């Protein structure tokens, strides 16, 4: 399984958000791989920034974590909206703007999952935001 | 561990031991198990009872955190004589506390104590020569009110008591003795020479105690450092303080320094411009803590750190007696910088760390719990609202810390003023200090005369309580596992405040 295929499964949520020709074109142009990599790295960077770069008691509560998550959401939405639009425009392929907005939202939601995943990788490490947030039960 | 028995005689004795307790709480160490024995006939004395409550709180905190190397606060053990006797397997009846109770003085006049009425005519006349009518009618329940001639009679009881016997039995070769007394009052002026004489005899209850005879003994004699308001109805008159001091010094010259009976004798005093209310004794005798008492407590630390070689005693005589006085660079309002290096270095770190620890608990602990910072909830910590409701925090530590703040505010307000931190004492309608407050948002400007170390090249550098929390988080992470939450709590704050003070101030 190559990277494009891997990310296509993730961004199509196992087929749940498959959008026919639009999704096929994304796959054909290898956009799942590039958008997937970019959003993975951005969410990783934002999580690292929260826990280890900003890393200060005054910006360590769950509300602050939520701010980072929202930033992550907005950036991912813009990437999902703009990158395919530019590529397809260059190739002369035309889609309704709603297709791009929908994909932008899918990208944002998927990247939110990346952010949460990275959070649970790093929230246990030594930092002033250690343990933040507790989304589920106990220390989780 | 060797023991350092500290006899605190009279009100001054109690107040000096109180200052010593504050120093020990902040982490100053003596390398001895401290055994305070307070001798004061005034059982209701405000200062005495404040000191006893403080010592009990200290003990409770120490017992909880004892043996945890990461914690520096409350590290030095304080025991009662009863604890020592019990540890040594003895079953002698000793007082279960810090104060020795003098028998036969409650609601008794001095003339009843000496059984004046049963004396024959010649002896009555002799007694009348030595004691005035006022002396004979004096109520002993509130102390000797500046009359050492009464004190010397009544305090003889102590050296013949079961308590003194227990003390002699428990005394071991490596132990030391320190006597704190004032020279211008009644109890201390009488008690010190009497006690010293009996110690050097080495004979208690018909038994010989060579260790005791050749013990290493230090003492501080506090010269006048305050006056009391003139009151014709009171037996205490500060006009006589200097005369009494002179007379006592003459006596000491022959019977203490003159015969080499003491190893280290410390003298301290002040120009006594400070005027207290004229209270003869009882619950209302509560004077503000004074820097002289703190400096006197430092003499105990100095004595504890003096090497054995300088404290040799042979046949009840000190081989190399030393006499020390205390001085400061300034005269009226002192900061740490006004102390000479030896004094300054012995307390500056500890007191500053404890001050910030205290400040955080007073103003920010609930806030930190609400914010759920890592040091309260991660790495094995669980300092939540339940923790601060438990007796360790709520009854012992909070009470002790409040007394520490009152003590600090009192020495700040008093003359001379010891003002190492920029605080504002808060007083009630009776003008008694109840706490202090700070009037700055930058807590690192509070240490007077010590500039804040700023990181000029980092505009994002953490500051104030954010830096404080940051250091506590780091300390908490480094600490790893701790035997119990209380030990962890003290360890985190001990290490955290140390790092904080080192980074920003010292």
Instruction: Determine, yes or no, domain membership for B336.
Output: no
What is the residue extent of each domain of chain A? Answer: 3-13+20-122
Q: Report how far Cα B221 is from the mean position of its chain's Cα atoms.
A: 14
> Does B373 contact A57 at a Cβ distance shorter than 8 Å?
yes
Cβ <8 Å between A57 and B462: yes
Compute the residue count for chain A.
140
Beta pairing partners, B318: B313
B291 contact partners, CB below 8 Å, separation of at least 6 = B334, B411, B414, B416, B417, B418
Encoding tokens for residue B484? 């119990």
Which pair of structure tokens corresponds to residue B92? Answer: 């002698």
Q: Is B449 helix (H, G, I), strand (E, B) or coil?
A: coil
- Write out the residue range of the structural domain in which residue B484 sits: 341-504
Average pLDDT over residues A40-51: 98
pLDDT the model gives residue B448: 94
- Evaluate whether residue B335 is within a structural domain: no
Average pLDDT over residues B291-313: 96
> Does B147 fall in a domain?
no
Give backbone dihedrals phi and psi of B427, rounded to 5 degrees, phi first: -120, 155
Considering chain B, what percentage of its residues have pLDDT values greater than 70?
A: 90
B373 touches chain A (CB under 8 A): yes
Instruction: Give the residue-averaged pLDDT of B471-480.
Output: 93
Q: Say yes or no to pLDDT of B236 above 70.
A: no
Q: CA-CA distance, A13 to B339, in Å (whole number)?
A: 72
pLDDT at site B269: 87
Q: Is the pLDDT of residue B205 over 60?
A: yes
Chain B CB contacts of A60 below 8 Å = 371, 373-374
B444 vs B277, more confident: B444
Identify the band that residue A138 occupies on the pLDDT scale cut at 50, 70 and 90: confident
pLDDT of residue B116: 83
ipTM over 0.90: no
For residue B354, pLDDT over 80 is answered with yes
- Report the DSSP beta bridge partners of residue B424: B437
Instruction: Name the more confident of B94 and B464.
Output: B464
DSSP string spanning B57-90?
A: HHHHHHHHHTT-TT--TT-S-B--HHHHHHHTT-
Task: Inspect the interface and report whether the beta carbons of A128 and B473 lie closer than 8 Å.
Answer: yes
Contacting residues for B89 by C-beta, under 8 A, at least 6 apart = none
| pLDDT above 90: residue B298 | yes
Residue A34 has pLDDT above 60, yes or no: yes
B351 and B492 inside one domain: yes
Q: How confident is the model at residue B94 (pLDDT cuts 50, 70, 90)?
A: low
Query: Helices (H), strands (E): how many in chain A?
Result: 5, 0
Residue B472 scores a pLDDT above 80: yes
Instruction: Calculate mean pLDDT across residues A12-39.
Output: 94
Q: B43 pLDDT band (50/70/90 cuts)?
A: low
Q: What is the DSSP letter of B3?
A: E
Contact B454, B467 (CB under 8 A): no
- Written as six digits, the tokens of B195 are 């006690």
In total, the C-beta contacts within 8 angstroms joining chain A to chain B are 35
What distance in Å separates the CA atoms of residue B283 and residue B142, rounded to the nearest whole number? 10
Would the CB atoms of A129 and B466 count as touching at under 8 Å?
no
Q: Tell me: pLDDT of B252 over 80.
A: yes
Is there a single domain that holds both residue B168 and residue B238? yes
Interface contact flag, A56 B371, Cβ < 8 Å = no
Q: Are residues B265 and B213 in the same domain?
A: yes
* CA-based torsion, B390, B391, B392, B394: positive or negative: positive
Selection from B288, B195, B183 nearest residue B243 by Cα:
B183
Instruction: Report which secondary-structure segment, H or E, holds B463.
Output: none
Contact of A56 with chain B, judged by CB distance below 8 Å, is answered with yes
Q: Are residues B81 and B123 in the same domain?
A: no
Residue B272 predicted with pLDDT over 70: no
- Tell me the whole-structure pTM to 2 decimals: 0.89
Backbone torsions φ then ψ of B320, nearest 5 degrees: -140, 70
What are the strands, taking DSSP E only, across B113-260? 176-182, 203-204, 207-208, 216-222, 227-228
Q: Is B479 helix (H, G, I), strand (E, B) or coil?
A: helix
DSSP B244-313: HHHHHHHHHHHHTTTTT--SEEEEE------EE----SSTT--PPP-HHHHHHHHHHHHHHHS-GGGG-E
* Structure-token pair, residue B493: 């704050």
| Range with the poorest average pLDDT among B171-175, B205-209, B214-218, B412-416 | B205-209
Computed over every residue of chain B, the mean pLDDT equals 88
- Does B281 have pLDDT greater than 60? no
Does residue B463 have a cis peptide bond before it, meaning omega lies within 30 degrees of 0? no
B20 inside domain: yes
The answer to the question of residue B74 being in a domain is yes
Q: At B472, is the secondary structure helix, strand, or coil?
A: helix
Reported confidence tier of residue B231, pLDDT bands at 50, 70, 90 = low
The single residue listed with the structure tokens 């003590």 is B407
pLDDT above 90 (res B463): no
Computed over every residue of chain A, the mean pLDDT equals 95
- pLDDT for the residue B41: 74
Domain tally, chain B: 3
Structure token pair of residue B101:
């109770």
Cβ burial of B182 (10 Å; 0-12, 13-18, 19+) is buried
Q: Is residue B90 part of a domain?
A: yes
- The answer to whether A60 contacts chain B (CB < 8 Å) is yes
If one counts every other C-beta atom within 10 angstroms of the C-beta of residue B391, the result is: 10
Identify the H or E element spanning B195.
Answer: helix B187-201
Indicate the pLDDT class of residue B158, thresholds 50, 70 and 90: confident
Measure the CA–CA gap between B322 and B305, rounded to whole angstroms: 14
Q: Shortest CB distance from B466 goes to which of A57, A127, A132?
A: A57
Q: Which residue has the higher pLDDT, B174 or B119?
A: B174
Q: Do A80 and A42 contact (CB within 8 A), yes or no?
A: no
The answer to whether A108 touches A80, Cβ cutoff 8 Å, is yes
- pLDDT tens digits for A75-130? 999 999 999 999 999 999 999 999 999 999 999 999 999 999 999 999 999 999 99
């Amino acid at each position: 399984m190559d990277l494009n295929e891997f990310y296509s499964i993730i961004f199509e949520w196992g087929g749940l958000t498959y959008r026919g020709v639009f999704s096929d074109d994304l796959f054909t142009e290898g956009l799942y791989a590039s958008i997937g990599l970019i959003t993975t790295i951005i969410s990783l960077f934002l999580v690292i920034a929260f826990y280890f770069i900003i890393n200060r008691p005054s910006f360590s509560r769950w509300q602050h974590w939520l701010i980072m998550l929202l930033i992550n959401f907005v950036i991912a939405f813009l990437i999902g909206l703009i990158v395919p639009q530019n590529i397809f425009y260059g190739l002369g392929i035309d889609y309704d703007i709603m297709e791009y907005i929908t994909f932008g939202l899918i990208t944002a939601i998927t990247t939110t999952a990346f952010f949460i995943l990275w959070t649970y990788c790093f929230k246990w490490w030594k930092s002033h935001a250690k343990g933040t947030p507790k989304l589920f039960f106990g220390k989780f | 561990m060797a023991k350092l028995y500290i006899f605190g005689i009279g009100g001054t004795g109690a107040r000096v031991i109180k200052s010593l307790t504050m120093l020990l709480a902040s982490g100053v160490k003596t390398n001895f198990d401290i055994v305070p024995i307070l001798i004061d006939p005034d059982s209701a004395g405000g200062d005495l009872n404040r000191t006893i409550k403080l010592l009990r709180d200290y003990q409770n905190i120490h017992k909880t955190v004892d043996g945890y190397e990461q914690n520096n606060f409350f590290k030095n053990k304080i025991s009662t004589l009863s604890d020592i006797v019990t540890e040594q397997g003895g079953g002698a009846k000793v007082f279960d506390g810090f104060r020795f109770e003098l028998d036969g003085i409650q609601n008794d006049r001095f003339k009843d104590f000496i059984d004046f009425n049963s004396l024959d005519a010649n002896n009555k006349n002799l007694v009348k020569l030595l004691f005035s009518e006022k002396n004979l009618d004096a109520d002993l329940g509130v102390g000797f009110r500046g009359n050492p001639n009464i004190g010397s009679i009544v305090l003889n009881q102590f050296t013949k008591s079961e308590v003194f016997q227990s003390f002699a039995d428990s005394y071991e070769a490596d132990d030391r003795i320190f006597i704190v007394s004032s020279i211008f009052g009644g109890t201390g002026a009488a008690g010190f020479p009497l006690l010293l004489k009996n110690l050097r005899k080495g004979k208690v209850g018909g038994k010989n105690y060579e260790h005791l005879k050749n013990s290493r003994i230090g003492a501080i004699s506090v010269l006048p450092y305050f006056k009391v308001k003139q009151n014709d109805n009171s037996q205490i008159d500060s006009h006589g303080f200097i005369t009494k001091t002179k007379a006592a010094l003459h006596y000491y010259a022959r019977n203490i320094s003159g015969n080499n009976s003491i190893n280290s004798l410390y003298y301290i005093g002040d120009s006594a411009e400070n005027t207290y209310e004229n209270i003869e004794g009882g619950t209302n005798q509560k004077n503000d803590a004074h820097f002289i008492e703190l400096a006197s407590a430092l003499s105990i630390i100095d004595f504890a750190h003096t090497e054995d070689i300088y404290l040799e005693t042979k046949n009840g005589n000190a081989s190399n007696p030393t006499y020390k006085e205390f001085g400061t660079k300034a005269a009226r309002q002192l900061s740490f910088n006004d102390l000479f290096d030896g004094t300054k270095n012995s307390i500056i770190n500890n007191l500053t760390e404890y001050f910030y620890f205290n400040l955080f608990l007073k103003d920010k602990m609930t806030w930190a719990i609400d914010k759920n910072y890592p040091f309260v909830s991660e790495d094995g910590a669980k300092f939540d609202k339940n923790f601060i409701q438990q007796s360790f925090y709520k009854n012992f530590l909070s009470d002790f810390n409040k007394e520490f703040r009152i003590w600090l505010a009192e020495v700040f307000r008093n003359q001379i003023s010891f003002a190492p931190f920029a605080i504002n004492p808060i007083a009630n309608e009776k003008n008694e200090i109840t706490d202090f407050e700070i009037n700055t948002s930058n807590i690192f400007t509070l240490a007077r005369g010590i500039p804040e170390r700023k990181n000029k090249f980092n505009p994002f550098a953490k500051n104030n309580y954010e830096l404080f929390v940051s250091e506590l988080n780091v300390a908490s992470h480094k600490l790893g596992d701790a035997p119990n939450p209380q030990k962890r709590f003290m360890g985190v704050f001990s290490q955290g405040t140390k790092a904080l003070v080192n980074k920003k101030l010292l």
